[in-house]
Structures are given as structure tokens and as C-alpha cells.
Structure 1
């Protein structure tokens, strides 16, 4: 019997895990995404196309400090430390923002200083067709404490990198608040490294914008470091709100908690949450948990939720993940209505109770009031739409 041997070409295996993704500061290395890539398949890439090339004028947004301008250091050119100490672009929009931002804004909290009032940077879009690229470095030196808030309003086409460095023993809270107009496009990559016995609280809060994609990546590098990643979104008709979250436990005895909550209403409202947690081989004694929960308020809305967990050591305290998407809890509504509360008011209370958990974790009373008011406004708009549909 004669046998023949045919050489078979090796099968291409695409990158699946977050830790394996390539990095480059050259947009050409990535090329324009097609929507088939693992990190783009839930994103309307055609809508994001303006951010695949550096901005020609880079005048799409204006920056102003509401408070804390005394903590702004000299701008950082490419190659000027600490710019690039932590940040590595992992997709084309991050590489574009790196190349397009000739200088980076540098917010620097001095060593051992406790800053009571939040440092607030307002980022205001200058027009729907205007483009901007940015790189922002937020650095908390050893044993310092501060809160930094990035507020986005107006409309623009905005590619943004935020590089966060939390030195040993520091405590830093970073809040990015998206209240764009409906035609804004915003793609942001937040990358952080947390030192020994340091703590980072990171909030992504998205209410406005046509397409908002904010992807945080946090490395708990030092022993005893802690990372708390929280998110809140409210997607309306036609809005796409997305976050791809990566938490890397690298040091020993690290603690991580990820909780994102979202509400959706209206035809075509779409939220995407992808959560990746990696517990590295040296991250012994780690305690980590991630969860995403979504409340769908109307027909025609869609929430995609994908949790992933990689564990490279068996010596951990605990690790887990969870995801849930659903409509109103009928039992909760019945309980409230049985006590004389009208159905519309009962629904409002259920949504507020669901989302206010994230708001309360901020610990900034003025912002908590502002966000609760924004949620109320979203609910009122939904009620008005429902009333209009009923009239027809």
C-alpha cells in the first residue's frame, strides 16, 4: 500500500486573551479594524472611522481646569518621562492619540500631599466635525491622596489616552464623565499601574455621546496594591456605550473589585461590557471579583456582556465573575405598587436603586447629586417617549 503525505499549512489562531494583544505606537501596525477582530466585533467601526487617522488640526476640544490647576506640571513631549512609563497602545485609536498629541497634559500630585478638593478638568467639544487627539498623564506620587475628574461635554471626534501612575502608598481616584451631545464620537484608552500598598479607584460614567468607547486597563503591580473599577452607563435610542475592562493582578496579596452597571432604553440603544481579569503566576494571595449587571427598560435595546477570568496560580484567596442582563423585577414592582405607589414611580425607584449603588461609591457629594439628577433626567425622557408612543 502506498501512502502519501501532504503538508498542511498551520492554522492561524487569532489573539483571544487581553494579555496577548500586540502593542505599538504606530497606527499603521494595527491598520483599520474590520469589525471581525476580537476587540472590535461589538463596536460599530464604520462610525469610528474618523479616529483611525491623526487629527489634522487637533482643535476639536478645549481644556479648562475648574479646580486644581496648581497640580498641572509642564506638558510632556513624546519620550519625556513619565509619559510612556505605563502606557502601551493596544489598538489603532490609542496609537493615533499617541501620535496626534505632540504634548501631554501632566497632572502631578506631590509626595505625601492630601488634596481635599477634586482636581476637575473640563473637556469641551468644539463641533461635531472637529477632531482632536490627546494624551493625559495623571501621576500620584508616594503616599499622596487625590481625586481627578475628567468631564466631557459638547461634541467632537475625540481620540484620547489617559495614563495613570499610582506610586507606592498613594491613594488616587480617577473619574471620567461622558455627557457629550448625541453626535459625539469618543474612543479612550485608560492604562494604569498601581504600586505597592497603593490604591486606585477608577470610575467610567457614560450618559451622552453617539459612540463612546472607554477601555480601562489596570495593572496591580506592587505587593498589597488595590484596584476598584466601577462603571455606570445609561444608553438611549441610537447610543453605543462601551467599556472593555482589563485588571491584571501582578503583585502578591492584591485586591481587585470590578462592578459595572448599565441601563438601556429606546430602539437601538446598545451597551457593551467586556471584562478581563488576569491573576498572574506571582500574584499569590489575590482576592478578585468582577461583575456586570444591566437593566433593559424598553424593547429594541441590547446589552452585550462578556466576563473572562484567567488564573495562573492556585494560591489565591478568591476569584470570581458574574454577568446578568434583565428587565424589571416584577416582584419589586408588585411590592411597591401594593403599597400605593403608582407604576411609573415604582419603575423610577427601581432604576434609581439599581444605579445609585455606583454613584454612592464616588464619595464626592456634589458629583453624586449631579449624577442622580442626570439619571432622573434620563428616566423623565424615557417617560416622555413612552407617553408619546401611547398617544399615537
Structure 2
């Protein structure tokens, strides 16, 4: 059995517990697979088994907690099949304060942020030949580094990316995905002491593309990570960020934007792990759905450990339904192991157009169609404006506009949004 730990470098930097701790297998379990959790139920989010070896995981059946909302038949080749692990072509302009290199699997940065929790992630980890390493060393907050990937083809591929922010560095890293792809990948993010890093991934794949991604992040002392996921294109897109607030004063803001069209499945499972004292997190994901069979999934897990005194945390997910025949699954979860916190809460809502907003706009001479577009644009603009790159924000605003033009023809008047789940502590 492979040793269930992250690299020595990560253990030294972030004091990650060894196997049997928060990255170990469930206590008493003899099985190391995501497919066998039903034998001995996982009692807390931190007990999920992790391994970089795909053979340690059973093939999912669709009944597992992590797969039951995913159309696994459409991505079975990425989960179970052989993968092309050769480096994918990327383009990026040289920018002061950022470095871009390909590194071997033996590089000490590999495994410094986390390990796979499911077979798709482990399949990618087992298959990649070289990892794309992005180093952030500058101290200019407005500096941005854009990495573009396009035209990866229709064969099943694996990829691995490691983003490392040096102590006290500042920067914005944007990964833009377009064209054809059948890709399963892992993205590691390490934010060292005092650094402030923003990482944005944009999924604007072609309609037939499939993309499964696991993001692992470690945030150090007095460091901050802003993590943004934008999913607009692709047949099946599943992005799962796992962010660990590993040291005192660590902070994360996790945002997401998605627009699901007819027959499109967009999924995101966010895990925030408060390990250290005085850590802070804010999670906000917003999505719109239109067209028969449009399906979105958002699962938000927040764990506040016994060691995380002084935690301040809040997560929310908002979904706007634009037509009949759509489905939005929204599941916030909150685990608290200490009562000595500043606050924690969650909220989730799935609803339709607010008739009062539409009436207000129409009463001022705006057509019903344009009024609907303005409401949706305003609903999603909050997330786009968090990116911090005017050029990227403008491109995404235009992409959302294109989605709204398609949606306008089938839109009908709906009631105001209904709150589905909410709570604070």
C-alpha cells in the first residue's frame, strides 16, 4: 500500500499530519477505495482516504457519495481508462515576477498541496509525464499571468499543474481553457507565508468537451488565496477545489460562476478545511441554468477543526433558473469541532426571476427580454468583478451576454427565488 502522506517539503512547511490524521484512511477501515465507503461510513470530511495511485480506488458505480450526481458514463474513460500523460501545449507571455517550466514527477513540489480523494484524480496523477510549474515571485498586486490551453483533442488526457507563491509575493494567475478536450487533471496551489495569490480557471470548452479537475491548496501563515472557478462551456465539467487553511491567520475567498445550457452538466465540490487558529474563509458560487436537461451541482463542505479557534467562515450558493427542465443540486455542509469561533454559516437558494425586478425595469420603458438579460447580468456580474483583470472580465461578460441571447427566446415569467437552505451560527 502506498504511504498516505504528502511530500516532506509540504509536511515541513505546513505541518500536515501523517496517515491516520486528517489525510489518513477512515479509522478501522480495511478498504482504501472511494467505492467502499459504505462498508464503514466516513464520519467526517477529513477522514476520506487519499492516494496518488489509481489502483487504490475501485471503479465508481454512481452510488458513491462523490459520484451519485455525476453522469459517470459520459466520463468513464477519464476515470478508468488509459490516459495520454504527455505535456499539453500551453501559451503564455513572459511577465516579470512569474516563472513557467515543465518539471519531472520527482520534483519536490509534486504532492506539496494534497493528494487525490477519488479515482479520476488518482488516474490523472498516475498518468502524467511532466507537471507544469508556475512560480509567483513578484510583489506587484496588479501583475497578472495568463496561461492558455486550447485544442487538446478528443483523446483522453491527463495533466498536472503546480502553482507556488513565494513568501510575501503578490500576483494573479489565470488559466484559460478553450477548444476540444477530454481531460482529467490535478492542480496544486501552495501559498507561502504572507503571500497574496489569486488563481482563476476559466472553462470555455467546446460543447462536446469533458473536463474533470481536482484543485488542492495549502495556505500558509498570514497568507491569502482567492480562488475563482468560471465554467461556461463543455458537456461535462467538474471542478473540485480543496483548500486547507494550514497556518495562523490564513485566509481564502472562493468564488464560482457557471451557466448551464441544455444537456450540459456543470459540477463543483468545494472543501474548506480550517486547520489553524484565526483563519477566515468566504465561499460564494452563483449559477444560471436554461434549457432542457441543464444540470448544475454545487456541494460546499466546511470543516472547522478543534485546532481552529477564532475561525470566521461563511459559504453560500445561489442558482437562477431561466427555463423549465433544469435541475440545480445545492448542498452546503458545515462541520464544527470547536465552539471557540467568531462565526460560521451557510446559505443556499434556487429560484426564478423576481417579478418585482422585471416589473420595475419594464415600468421604465425596458422591454421584457432586455429586462431579463439585465437581471441575469447583474446576478452574475458580482463574481466576474472579483477576478481583477479588466480584459478577462470583459471577455467573460461578453460570453455571458452570448449565453443570455440564447436563453432569451425561451424565457417565461417566473416567481421570486425561494430560499432552500440557510443557517448561521
Length-normalised TM-score, structure 1? 0.92
Cα gap change, 1:39 to 1:57, in 2 (>3 Å): closer
Paired position in structure 2 for 1:292: 317
Secondary structure, counterpart of 1:372 in structure 2: helix
Q: 1:315 aligns with which of 309, 319, 340?
A: 340
Paired position in structure 1 for 2:148: 122
Q: 1:252 aligns with which of 272, 277, 293?
A: 277
Query: 1:294: how far off?
Result: 0.1
- Residue deviations 1:194-225 (CA, integer Å, cap 9, x gap): 00000000000000000000000000111111
Cα gap change, 1:60 to 1:262, in 2 (>3 Å): farther
Q: Which moved more, 1:91-100 or 1:260-269?
A: 91-100
Q: 1:330 aligns with which of 355, 358, 378?
A: 355
Query: 1:383: how far off?
Result: 2.3
2:65 is equivalent to residue 65 of structure 1: no
Query: What is the alpha-carbon distance in structure 2 between the residues aligned to residue 32 and residue 69 of structure 1?
Result: 44
2:230 is equivalent to residue 205 of structure 1: yes
Secondary structure, counterpart of 2:272 in structure 1: strand
Cα gap change, 1:103 to 1:70, in 2 (>3 Å): farther
Query: 1:59: how far off?
Result: 5.7
Paired position in structure 1 for 2:393: 368
Secondary structure, counterpart of 1:46 in structure 2: helix
Query: What is the alpha-carbon distance in structure 1 between the residues aligned to residue 224 and residue 388 of structure 2?
Result: 15
Q: Which moved more, 1:364-373 or 1:114-123?
A: 114-123
- Residue segments in structure 2 that go unaligned for 5+ positions in a row: 1-37, 413-425
Query: What is the alpha-carbon distance in structure 2 between the residues aligned to residue 79 and residue 320 of structure 1?
Result: 41
Q: 1:144 aligns with which of 143, 164, 169?
A: 169
Secondary structure, counterpart of 1:187 in structure 2: strand
Query: What is the alpha-carbon distance in structure 1 between the residues aligned to residue 128 and residue 98 of structure 2?
Result: 20
Contact 2:228 2:256 in 1 (8 A): yes
Secondary structure, counterpart of 1:262 in structure 2: strand
Q: How does 1:1-392 map to 2 (within 5 A)?
A: 12-15=39-42, 17-53=44-80, 55-58=82-85, 61-68=88-95, 71-110=98-137, 113-114=139-140, 116-127=142-153, 129-384=154-409
- Residue deviations 1:332-382 (CA, integer Å, cap 9, x gap): 111111222111111011101110011111121111111111110000112
Cα gap change, 1:249 to 1:34, in 2 (>3 Å): same
Query: 1:72: how far off?
Result: 3.0
Query: What is the alpha-carbon distance in structure 2 between the residues aligned to residue 270 and residue 60 of structure 1?
Result: 31
Query: 1:126: how far off?
Result: 3.1
Cα gap change, 1:385 to 1:346, in 2 (>3 Å): closer
Cα gap change, 1:60 to 1:377, in 2 (>3 Å): farther
Query: What is the alpha-carbon distance in structure 2 between the residues aligned to residue 292 and residue 285 of structure 1?
Result: 24
Contact 2:83 2:158 in 1 (8 A): no
Contact 1:60 1:131 in 2 (8 A): no
- Residue deviations 1:114-155 (CA, integer Å, cap 9, x gap): 36431111111332x322211100000000001101100011
Query: What is the alpha-carbon distance in structure 2 between the residues aligned to residue 61 and residue 265 of structure 1?
Result: 32
Q: Which moved more, 1:329-338 or 1:206-215?
A: 329-338
Contact 2:59 2:119 in 1 (8 A): yes
Structure exhibiting the larger radius of gyration computed from Cα positions: 1
- Residue deviations 1:27-75 (CA, integer Å, cap 9, x gap): 1211211110001111001111010246454469422214549733543
Query: What is the alpha-carbon distance in structure 2 between the residues aligned to residue 155 and residue 37 of structure 1?
Result: 29
Cα gap change, 1:107 to 1:230, in 2 (>3 Å): same
Contact 1:60 1:126 in 2 (8 A): no
Contact 1:194 1:222 in 2 (8 A): yes
Query: 1:14: how far off?
Result: 3.0
Query: What is the alpha-carbon distance in structure 2 between the residues aligned to residue 213 and residue 306 of structure 1?
Result: 15
Query: What is the alpha-carbon distance in structure 2 between the residues aligned to residue 12 and residue 147 of structure 1?
Result: 43
Moved over 6 A (4+): none
Length-normalised TM-score, structure 2? 0.85
Contact 1:296 1:326 in 2 (8 A): yes
Query: What is the alpha-carbon distance in structure 1 between the residues aligned to residue 369 and residue 408 of structure 2?
Result: 8
Secondary structure, counterpart of 1:19 in structure 2: helix
Query: What is the alpha-carbon distance in structure 2 between the residues aligned to residue 283 and residue 60 of structure 1?
Result: 39
Secondary structure, counterpart of 2:399 in structure 1: helix
Contact 1:33 1:40 in 2 (8 A): yes
Query: What is the alpha-carbon distance in structure 1 between the residues aligned to residue 84 and residue 130 of structure 2?
Result: 14
